[in-house]
Amino acid sequence: MTAQDRREVHLVDAFTTEPFSGNPAGVVPDADGLEADQMQAIAAEMGASETVFVQETGDADRRLRYFTPEQEADLCGHATIAAYARLFDRAAVEAGTETVATGAGKVSVDVESDGTVWLDGAEPSVEAVDIDYDELAAALGLTETAFAGVGEDLPVARASTGMPFLIVPVNYFEQLGDVSPDLAAIEALAEAHDAAGIYAFTFDTLDRESTVHGRLFAPTLGVSEDPVTGTASGAVGAYLRRFSGVEGTEFRCEQGDFLDRSGRVRVRTANGVRVGGRAVTTLSGQIALPETADSEIIEA
C-alpha cells in the first residue's frame, strides 16, 4: 500500500478542553480528491456521530462536508468547531475569519488567538408552539409538575438558527436528570412541528457562570441523546433573547454531564447568533482509503 492510499485522520472532542468529554467528531483535514462514497465509508469506520472532511474550493476559503455513519449532513456545529480547532492546532489556519462552503450554504467561522472557534448561525427564528404539558410529560418520562411555574413565564417554542428544535423549559436540574425519553413520542412531536428534536433545559446549573443546563433528544436524526450540540445551543440562545429576559448578549450552555461527556457552549446574540467553544484532539493517525464504487465494477 502506498502513501497515496492513506489520509490523516483525527478524533477531536468539541466544546471542551478535556479529553474524553464534549462531543467527539472525526476530522479529515485533507479530503481533496475523495469521492462521496469514500467519505461515507470513512465516517462509518470512524464511528463518531459526524466526521467532517476539509476540502479546497474556489468559491470560499474552504469546503466542509459532514457525514454521519449512515448519510451526509448539510451542516454540523460541533464538527465545524472540531475541524477548525484542529486546523488551528496544526497551523493550517491562523486566527481570523474564514468563509466556509457547506451543504447548508456559506457560513462564517472565526478563530480567536486562544483557539476558541466561533460559528455564525442563520437568521434566528423563534415562535411559541401549542403543546399540552401532559404530552410533553409522557414523551420525556416526567410528571407535569416538572413544567409547573417555569411554564407560566416561558413557553414551549420552536427555535432555529439553521436547524429547528423544540425548546422545553424544566424547573430543576434533578427533574432534567430524571428524564426517561420515549423516543417514538419525541420523534412524533418533532415531526409534527418540523423540528429535529427536543432540547429540554433548566436554569438550575452546575457552574455559576452557566446560564442553562440542557439535554437534546433527536431520534429524527438517529441520535437518542446528543452529548453537546452547537446548533441546539444557538437555538436556545435565540429563545432566551426572545422570552427569558436574561440580561446580556452572551450565554453559556451546559450539556453532556448526564452522559459523562461534559461540554460547555458559548452563545453570543448581539448581532445574529454565534456559537463558540474550544476543542481537544484525542486521537491522530492515518486511515486506509476505501475503493470508490466505480473501482469495484468488474467488466465482463
pLDDT in tens, 34-53: 999 999 999 999 999 999 99
C-alpha cell belonging to residue 85: 480547532
Active-site positions read: 50
| pTM for this model (two decimals) | 0.92
pLDDT given at position 297: 44
CA 120, distance to chain mean position in Å, is 13
Mean pLDDT of 226-252: 91
Identify the CA nearest to 232 among candidates 85, 106, 119, 84. Answer: 119
pLDDT given at position 300: 38
pLDDT given at position 245: 74
Say which residue, 275 or 293, is predicted with more confidence: 275
pLDDT given at position 5: 87
First vs last C-alpha separation in the chain: 27
| Domain spans, the chain | 7-121+279-295, 125-272
Mean pLDDT of 115-119: 98
C-alpha cell belonging to residue 68: 454521519
What are the DSSP calls for 37-82, one per residue? HHHHHHHHHH-SS-EEEEE--SSSSEEEEEE-SSSEES--HHHHHH
Mean pLDDT of 225-241: 96
pLDDT given at position 296: 52
CATH of domain 125-272: 3.10.310.10
User: Does 7-121+279-295 match 125-272 in CATH topology?
Assistant: yes
Report helix, strand or coil for 218: strand
Looking at the predicted structure, is the pLDDT value of residue 298 above 60? no
CATH of domain 7-121+279-295: 3.10.310.10
User: Which region among 13-17, 33-37, 68-72, 96-100 has the lowest average model confidence (pLDDT)?
Assistant: 68-72
Residue 246's pLDDT band, with cuts at 50, 70 and 90, is confident
Average pLDDT, the chain: 93
pLDDT in tens, 60-76: 999 999 999 989 999 99
pLDDT given at position 221: 86
Looking at the predicted structure, is the pLDDT value of residue 216 above 80? yes
pLDDT in tens, 252-286: 999 999 999 999 999 999 888 999 999 999 999 99
Mean pLDDT of 152-157: 90
Say which residue, 125 or 295, is predicted with more confidence: 125
Residue 299's pLDDT band, with cuts at 50, 70 and 90, is very low
pLDDT given at position 4: 56
Looking at the predicted structure, is the pLDDT value of residue 2 above 70? no
Residue 295's pLDDT band, with cuts at 50, 70 and 90, is low
Burial class (CB in 10 A: 0-12, 13-18, 19+), 49: buried
